[in-house]
Amino acid sequence: MNNKKNKDGLTEKQFLKQYNPGNYKRPSVTTDILIIGMNEDYSGLKLLLIKRGNHPYIDCWALPGGFIEENETAYQAAARELEEETGLTDIYLDQIYTFTKPGRDPRTWVMSIAYLSLVPRLREVKGFDDAEDAAWFDLEFNDSSIELTNEEKGVKIVYSLKKESFLNGAVRYENYIPTLKTEEALAFDHVEILIEAMKKLREQIFYSNQAFCLVDKTFTLPELQAAYEAVLNRPLYKKSFRDMVSEKLVETGTERRSNIKGGRTSKEYTLK
Protein backbone atom coordinates (compact mmCIF):
# COMPACT_ATOMS: atom_id res chain seq x y z
CA MET A 1 0.00 0.00 0.00
CA ASN A 2 1.22 3.48 -0.76
CA ASN A 3 -0.19 6.83 0.18
CA LYS A 4 0.03 8.55 -3.19
CA LYS A 5 -3.13 10.30 -4.30
CA ASN A 6 -4.72 10.03 -7.72
CA LYS A 7 -6.26 12.79 -9.84
CA ASP A 8 -9.34 12.80 -7.65
CA GLY A 9 -7.20 13.21 -4.55
CA LEU A 10 -7.86 9.68 -3.29
CA THR A 11 -5.33 7.37 -1.64
CA GLU A 12 -5.31 3.73 -2.67
CA LYS A 13 -7.35 2.76 0.38
CA GLN A 14 -9.96 5.42 -0.38
CA PHE A 15 -9.99 4.53 -4.06
CA LEU A 16 -10.59 0.84 -3.42
CA LYS A 17 -13.38 1.62 -0.99
CA GLN A 18 -15.31 3.72 -3.53
CA TYR A 19 -14.41 1.54 -6.55
CA ASN A 20 -17.50 0.34 -8.36
CA PRO A 21 -16.78 -2.77 -10.37
CA GLY A 22 -20.22 -2.96 -11.97
CA ASN A 23 -19.63 -0.77 -14.99
CA TYR A 24 -18.37 -3.35 -17.46
CA LYS A 25 -20.25 -6.33 -18.75
CA ARG A 26 -18.53 -9.48 -17.53
CA PRO A 27 -18.27 -12.92 -19.11
CA SER A 28 -18.85 -16.22 -17.35
CA VAL A 29 -15.64 -18.23 -17.20
CA THR A 30 -15.54 -22.01 -17.10
CA THR A 31 -12.85 -24.65 -17.29
CA ASP A 32 -13.22 -27.50 -19.77
CA ILE A 33 -10.98 -30.44 -19.17
CA LEU A 34 -9.64 -33.07 -21.54
CA ILE A 35 -9.04 -36.23 -19.58
CA ILE A 36 -6.96 -38.60 -21.66
CA GLY A 37 -5.68 -42.09 -20.86
CA MET A 38 -4.51 -45.24 -22.58
CA ASN A 39 -7.01 -47.94 -23.52
CA GLU A 40 -7.03 -51.44 -22.06
CA ASP A 41 -4.41 -53.01 -24.30
CA TYR A 42 -2.21 -49.92 -24.78
CA SER A 43 -3.17 -49.72 -28.46
CA GLY A 44 -4.62 -46.21 -28.39
CA LEU A 45 -5.93 -43.26 -26.41
CA LYS A 46 -9.25 -42.77 -24.67
CA LEU A 47 -11.04 -39.52 -23.89
CA LEU A 48 -13.52 -39.01 -21.08
CA LEU A 49 -16.80 -37.39 -22.17
CA ILE A 50 -20.04 -36.63 -20.39
CA LYS A 51 -23.50 -36.62 -21.89
CA ARG A 52 -25.31 -33.34 -21.43
CA GLY A 53 -28.64 -33.52 -19.64
CA ASN A 54 -29.92 -30.07 -20.52
CA HIS A 55 -30.00 -27.43 -23.21
CA PRO A 56 -28.02 -26.30 -25.06
CA TYR A 57 -26.60 -29.36 -26.82
CA ILE A 58 -28.93 -31.63 -24.85
CA ASP A 59 -27.97 -35.31 -25.27
CA CYS A 60 -24.68 -34.31 -26.91
CA TRP A 61 -21.38 -35.56 -25.59
CA ALA A 62 -19.13 -32.88 -24.15
CA LEU A 63 -15.94 -32.28 -22.21
CA PRO A 64 -16.45 -32.18 -18.46
CA GLY A 65 -16.12 -28.73 -16.97
CA GLY A 66 -17.68 -26.11 -14.81
CA PHE A 67 -17.70 -22.55 -13.63
CA ILE A 68 -14.73 -21.09 -11.81
CA GLU A 69 -15.60 -19.76 -8.38
CA GLU A 70 -14.41 -16.46 -7.00
CA ASN A 71 -12.03 -17.85 -4.41
CA GLU A 72 -10.21 -20.38 -6.57
CA THR A 73 -7.81 -20.46 -9.49
CA ALA A 74 -8.73 -21.97 -12.83
CA TYR A 75 -6.29 -24.78 -12.02
CA GLN A 76 -8.12 -25.53 -8.79
CA ALA A 77 -11.46 -25.57 -10.60
CA ALA A 78 -10.07 -28.01 -13.16
CA ALA A 79 -8.54 -30.21 -10.45
CA ARG A 80 -11.87 -30.27 -8.63
CA GLU A 81 -13.63 -31.27 -11.83
CA LEU A 82 -11.05 -33.98 -12.50
CA GLU A 83 -11.50 -35.45 -9.05
CA GLU A 84 -15.28 -35.39 -9.31
CA GLU A 85 -15.10 -37.33 -12.56
CA THR A 86 -12.35 -39.83 -11.85
CA GLY A 87 -11.61 -39.71 -8.14
CA LEU A 88 -7.99 -38.96 -9.02
CA THR A 89 -5.79 -36.35 -7.40
CA ASP A 90 -2.14 -35.44 -7.88
CA ILE A 91 -2.43 -35.93 -11.63
CA TYR A 92 -0.85 -34.13 -14.59
CA LEU A 93 -3.03 -31.11 -15.36
CA ASP A 94 -1.96 -28.27 -17.59
CA GLN A 95 -3.55 -25.20 -19.07
CA ILE A 96 -3.89 -25.47 -22.86
CA TYR A 97 -5.63 -22.41 -24.20
CA THR A 98 -8.44 -20.00 -23.45
CA PHE A 99 -11.36 -19.94 -25.86
CA THR A 100 -13.20 -16.66 -26.13
CA LYS A 101 -15.08 -16.55 -29.43
CA PRO A 102 -18.35 -14.64 -28.99
CA GLY A 103 -21.33 -16.95 -29.44
CA ARG A 104 -19.46 -20.14 -28.54
CA ASP A 105 -22.12 -20.69 -25.91
CA PRO A 106 -25.66 -19.82 -27.04
CA ARG A 107 -26.82 -19.09 -23.49
CA THR A 108 -24.64 -16.14 -22.66
CA TRP A 109 -21.12 -14.75 -22.88
CA VAL A 110 -18.88 -17.62 -21.76
CA MET A 111 -15.13 -18.02 -21.98
CA SER A 112 -13.49 -21.33 -21.33
CA ILE A 113 -10.02 -22.08 -20.03
CA ALA A 114 -9.12 -25.51 -21.39
CA TYR A 115 -7.01 -27.95 -19.37
CA LEU A 116 -5.38 -31.20 -20.41
CA SER A 117 -5.09 -34.05 -17.95
CA LEU A 118 -3.18 -37.26 -18.61
CA VAL A 119 -4.25 -40.14 -16.39
CA PRO A 120 -2.50 -43.47 -15.83
CA ARG A 121 -4.81 -46.30 -16.84
CA LEU A 122 -8.51 -46.33 -17.10
CA ARG A 123 -10.74 -46.12 -14.12
CA GLU A 124 -14.43 -46.35 -13.74
CA VAL A 125 -15.97 -42.95 -14.21
CA LYS A 126 -18.17 -41.66 -11.46
CA GLY A 127 -21.60 -40.19 -11.89
CA PHE A 128 -21.88 -36.46 -12.29
CA ASP A 129 -24.35 -33.75 -11.33
CA ASP A 130 -25.52 -32.11 -14.55
CA ALA A 131 -24.64 -35.09 -16.72
CA GLU A 132 -26.90 -37.88 -17.80
CA ASP A 133 -23.94 -40.11 -18.38
CA ALA A 134 -20.15 -40.27 -18.50
CA ALA A 135 -17.95 -42.64 -20.50
CA TRP A 136 -14.54 -43.22 -22.02
CA PHE A 137 -14.36 -42.90 -25.81
CA ASP A 138 -11.72 -44.39 -28.08
CA LEU A 139 -9.89 -41.46 -29.62
CA GLU A 140 -8.42 -41.67 -33.11
CA PHE A 141 -6.76 -38.46 -34.24
CA ASN A 142 -4.90 -38.33 -37.53
CA ASP A 143 -4.20 -35.77 -40.25
CA SER A 144 -7.53 -36.35 -41.99
CA SER A 145 -10.03 -37.13 -39.24
CA ILE A 146 -10.99 -37.29 -35.57
CA GLU A 147 -13.02 -40.29 -34.49
CA LEU A 148 -14.57 -40.77 -31.05
CA THR A 149 -16.13 -44.18 -30.50
CA ASN A 150 -17.91 -45.91 -27.65
CA GLU A 151 -19.02 -49.31 -28.89
CA GLU A 152 -20.90 -50.24 -25.73
CA LYS A 153 -23.19 -47.28 -26.12
CA GLY A 154 -23.18 -47.45 -29.91
CA VAL A 155 -21.93 -43.86 -30.22
CA LYS A 156 -19.63 -42.71 -32.99
CA ILE A 157 -18.63 -39.10 -33.54
CA VAL A 158 -16.51 -38.34 -36.61
CA TYR A 159 -15.06 -35.11 -37.94
CA SER A 160 -13.04 -34.91 -41.11
CA LEU A 161 -10.07 -32.56 -40.92
CA LYS A 162 -8.62 -30.23 -43.48
CA LYS A 163 -5.20 -28.76 -42.91
CA GLU A 164 -4.99 -25.04 -43.42
CA SER A 165 -2.00 -22.84 -42.85
CA PHE A 166 -2.13 -19.17 -41.98
CA LEU A 167 0.32 -16.49 -41.04
CA ASN A 168 0.77 -14.83 -37.67
CA GLY A 169 3.37 -12.21 -38.41
CA ALA A 170 6.31 -14.19 -39.78
CA VAL A 171 5.13 -17.41 -38.14
CA ARG A 172 3.14 -19.93 -40.17
CA TYR A 173 0.63 -22.08 -38.32
CA GLU A 174 -0.90 -25.35 -39.46
CA ASN A 175 -4.50 -25.58 -38.38
CA TYR A 176 -7.07 -28.33 -38.67
CA ILE A 177 -10.54 -27.33 -39.84
CA PRO A 178 -13.11 -29.91 -38.66
CA THR A 179 -16.27 -30.88 -40.54
CA LEU A 180 -18.86 -33.04 -38.82
CA LYS A 181 -19.53 -36.36 -40.58
CA THR A 182 -21.96 -38.09 -38.21
CA GLU A 183 -25.37 -37.59 -36.59
CA GLU A 184 -23.74 -37.25 -33.20
CA ALA A 185 -21.46 -34.31 -32.47
CA LEU A 186 -19.44 -32.82 -29.67
CA ALA A 187 -21.11 -29.94 -27.84
CA PHE A 188 -20.07 -26.29 -28.15
CA ASP A 189 -16.60 -25.74 -29.67
CA HIS A 190 -15.22 -28.80 -27.91
CA VAL A 191 -13.79 -30.28 -31.12
CA GLU A 192 -11.59 -27.24 -31.46
CA ILE A 193 -10.44 -27.62 -27.87
CA LEU A 194 -9.62 -31.26 -28.56
CA ILE A 195 -7.66 -30.35 -31.69
CA GLU A 196 -5.69 -27.66 -29.88
CA ALA A 197 -4.84 -29.99 -27.00
CA MET A 198 -3.71 -32.82 -29.27
CA LYS A 199 -1.55 -30.45 -31.32
CA LYS A 200 0.12 -29.14 -28.19
CA LEU A 201 0.57 -32.61 -26.71
CA ARG A 202 2.26 -33.86 -29.88
CA GLU A 203 4.59 -30.87 -29.98
CA GLN A 204 5.64 -31.31 -26.38
CA ILE A 205 5.77 -35.07 -25.94
CA PHE A 206 9.42 -35.38 -26.95
CA TYR A 207 10.59 -32.47 -24.79
CA SER A 208 8.63 -33.35 -21.68
CA ASN A 209 7.74 -36.38 -19.61
CA GLN A 210 4.06 -36.26 -20.46
CA ALA A 211 4.04 -39.83 -21.79
CA PHE A 212 5.05 -41.05 -18.33
CA CYS A 213 1.71 -39.73 -17.06
CA LEU A 214 -0.13 -42.21 -19.28
CA VAL A 215 1.45 -45.33 -17.78
CA ASP A 216 1.49 -46.66 -14.22
CA LYS A 217 4.17 -45.64 -11.73
CA THR A 218 6.04 -48.82 -12.62
CA PHE A 219 5.92 -49.64 -16.30
CA THR A 220 7.61 -51.65 -19.00
CA LEU A 221 9.29 -50.15 -22.04
CA PRO A 222 6.76 -51.66 -24.47
CA GLU A 223 4.03 -49.92 -22.47
CA LEU A 224 5.87 -46.59 -22.45
CA GLN A 225 6.59 -46.84 -26.16
CA ALA A 226 2.90 -47.57 -26.78
CA ALA A 227 2.05 -44.35 -24.94
CA TYR A 228 4.37 -42.31 -27.16
CA GLU A 229 3.03 -44.02 -30.26
CA ALA A 230 -0.59 -43.50 -29.26
CA VAL A 231 -0.01 -39.78 -28.79
CA LEU A 232 1.97 -39.38 -32.00
CA ASN A 233 -0.19 -41.85 -33.94
CA ARG A 234 2.85 -43.33 -35.63
CA PRO A 235 5.29 -46.16 -34.87
CA LEU A 236 8.71 -45.44 -33.36
CA TYR A 237 11.85 -47.51 -33.83
CA LYS A 238 12.40 -49.62 -30.75
CA LYS A 239 16.12 -49.06 -30.37
CA SER A 240 16.07 -45.31 -30.96
CA PHE A 241 13.14 -45.00 -28.57
CA ARG A 242 14.95 -46.91 -25.83
CA ASP A 243 18.13 -44.88 -26.33
CA MET A 244 16.09 -41.68 -26.04
CA VAL A 245 14.35 -42.56 -22.76
CA SER A 246 17.15 -44.64 -21.22
CA GLU A 247 18.64 -41.91 -19.04
CA LYS A 248 15.23 -41.11 -17.55
CA LEU A 249 14.69 -44.64 -16.24
CA VAL A 250 15.47 -46.70 -13.18
CA GLU A 251 14.99 -50.49 -13.16
CA THR A 252 12.78 -51.80 -10.38
CA GLY A 253 14.42 -55.22 -10.53
CA THR A 254 11.20 -57.08 -11.27
CA GLU A 255 9.89 -58.38 -14.55
CA ARG A 256 6.37 -58.95 -15.82
CA ARG A 257 4.40 -59.44 -18.99
CA SER A 258 3.54 -56.46 -21.08
CA ASN A 259 1.27 -58.47 -23.30
CA ILE A 260 -1.62 -60.87 -22.88
CA LYS A 261 -0.33 -63.12 -25.66
CA GLY A 262 2.96 -65.03 -25.81
CA GLY A 263 6.44 -63.62 -25.80
CA ARG A 264 9.18 -62.71 -23.39
CA THR A 265 8.57 -60.88 -20.11
CA SER A 266 9.61 -57.25 -19.80
CA LYS A 267 11.71 -55.46 -17.24
CA GLU A 268 9.89 -52.98 -15.06
CA TYR A 269 11.05 -49.39 -14.69
CA THR A 270 10.13 -46.22 -12.87
CA LEU A 271 10.79 -42.62 -13.81
CA LYS A 272 14.03 -41.27 -12.35
Partner DNA sequence: ATAATAGTGTCTATCAGACATTATCTG
Partner DNA sequence: CAGATAATGTCTGATAGACACTATTAT
Binding stretches for a copy of itself (CB under 8 A): 2, 4, 6-7, 10-12, 15-16, 19, 21, 24-29, 53-56, 58-59, 67-75, 90-95, 97-98, 100-102, 106-109, 111, 113, 118, 168-172, 203, 207-210, 212-213, 271
- Is-contact 47 32, C-beta < 8 A? no
**Partner whose footprint covers residue 25, from DNA, a copy of itself, none (CB < 5 to 8 Å by kind):** a copy of itself
Q: Which amino acid is at 148?
A: L
In whole angstroms, the minimum distance from the beta carbon of 190 to DNA comes to: 31
- Is-contact 146 178, C-beta < 8 A? yes
Which of 46, 40, 91, 43 has the alpha carbon at shortest distance from 227? 43
**Partner whose footprint covers residue 238, from DNA, a copy of itself, none (CB < 5 to 8 Å by kind):** DNA
3-state class percentages of the chain: helix first, strand second, coil last, to nearest 5: 25, 35, 40
Query: Could you tell me the end-to-end alpha-carbon distance of the chain, in angstroms, rounded to an integer?
Result: 45
In whole angstroms, the minimum distance from the beta carbon of 178 to DNA comes to: 27
Site string for DNA, 206-245 (x = CB under 7 A): --------------xxx-------------xxxxx-xxx-
Contact window for DNA (CB under 7 A) among 4-12, 19-27, 70-78, 264-272: 264-272
Question: CB-wise, 13 or 234, nearer to DNA?
Answer: 234
In whole angstroms, the minimum distance from the beta carbon of 237 to DNA comes to: 4
Q: Which long-range contacts (CB under 8 A, 24 or more apart) does 142-146 make?
A: 142/233, 145/181, 146/178, 146/191, 146/194, 146/195
In whole angstroms, the minimum distance from the beta carbon of 18 to a copy of itself comes to: 10
- Is-contact 227 38, C-beta < 8 A? yes
Distance, C-alpha 19 to centroid of its chain:
38
Question: CB-wise, 69 or 255, nearer to a copy of itself?
Answer: 69
- Is-contact 159 146, C-beta < 8 A? yes
* Residues near DNA (CB under 7 A): 220-222, 236-240, 242-244, 255, 258-259, 261-267
